[in-house]
Structure formats: structure tokens, C-alpha cells
């Protein structure tokens, strides 16, 4: 391969890298309007196993619904530097955005 082809290839790859936007990270937070910690359950509408405070950053691991048709999400997040899956919360109390 001659030098001209190498330069053209490198410039093309550089242009593609510049044009393509970085993938946004989807981040969510607990936003319970009651101001009380949000119950975390072992399954949609199941037994309470934990609670999360408003403003806690979470990541959605899975989605589901209960017998009444309400939307639930399985959430996880970082605690003391370690990622863990906490459990299921009602979707309506989670607000998400791209970071």
C-alpha cells in the first residue's frame, strides 16, 4: 500500500470519528413526589427488600409489569464504589435523561 492510500485511509477514519457523536449514557434518578424513600421490591409489586432516597442515581436493568398493568423497572446503581442491583420500583417514580 503506498503512502497516499495510507494517508487517505487515516484521514477518512479521523473524519468518521469526529462526525459520529459519542453514545449518550442513560441515567435515571429516584423522583418520588411524597419525599419519602422509595420502596424497592424483590419483584414487581412483591415484598419490600430495600428503599432508595429521592435523587439517588439508578440504572434500569429490566422492565416489567404487575397484575394491575402498572410499569415497573429493575434498578441498580453504585453504593460505596460497587455496582449492585437493588430490585424493582414503580417506573413512574424514576426520571431518566441522557448524560
Evaluate whether residue 60 is within a structural domain: yes
Please give the average per-residue pLDDT across 7-28, as a whole number: 57
* Domain containing residue 45: 24-98
Q: Which of 2-6, 14-18, 20-24 is modeled with the greatest confidence?
A: 2-6
Domain CATH code at residue 75: 2.30.30.40
Evaluate whether residue 14 is within a structural domain: no
Evaluate whether residue 5 is within a structural domain: no
Q: What is the pTM of this model?
A: 0.74
Evaluate whether residue 69 is within a structural domain: yes
Residue 13's pLDDT is what?
Answer: 54
Evaluate whether residue 47 is within a structural domain: yes
Short-list 93, 96, 97, CA closest to 31: 93
For the chain, give the mean pLDDT. 85
Report the number of distinct structural domains present in the chain: 1
Distance CA 11, CA 67 (A): 56
89: pLDDT strictly greater than 80:
yes
Tens of pLDDT, residue by residue over 29-85, are 999 999 899 999 999 999 999 999 999 999 999 999 999 999 999 999 999 999 999
Amino acid at each position: 500500500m503506498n503512502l497516499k492510500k495510507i494517508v487517505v485511509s487515516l484521514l477518512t477514519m479521523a473524519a468518521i470519528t469526529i462526525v459520529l457523536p459519542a453514545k449518550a449514557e442513560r441515567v435515571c434518578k429516584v423522583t418520588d413526589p411524597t419525599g419519602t424513600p422509595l420502596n424497592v421490591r424483590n419483584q414487581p409489586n412483591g415484598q419490600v427488600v430495600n428503599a432508595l432516597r429521592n435523587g439517588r442515581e439508578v440504572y434500569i436493568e429490566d422492565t416489567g409489569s404487575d397484575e394491575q398493568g402498572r410499569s415497573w423497572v429493575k434498578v441498580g446503581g453504585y453504593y460505596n464504589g460497587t455496582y449492585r442491583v437493588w430490585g424493582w420500583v414503580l417506573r413512574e417514580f424514576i426520571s431518566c435523561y441522557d448524560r
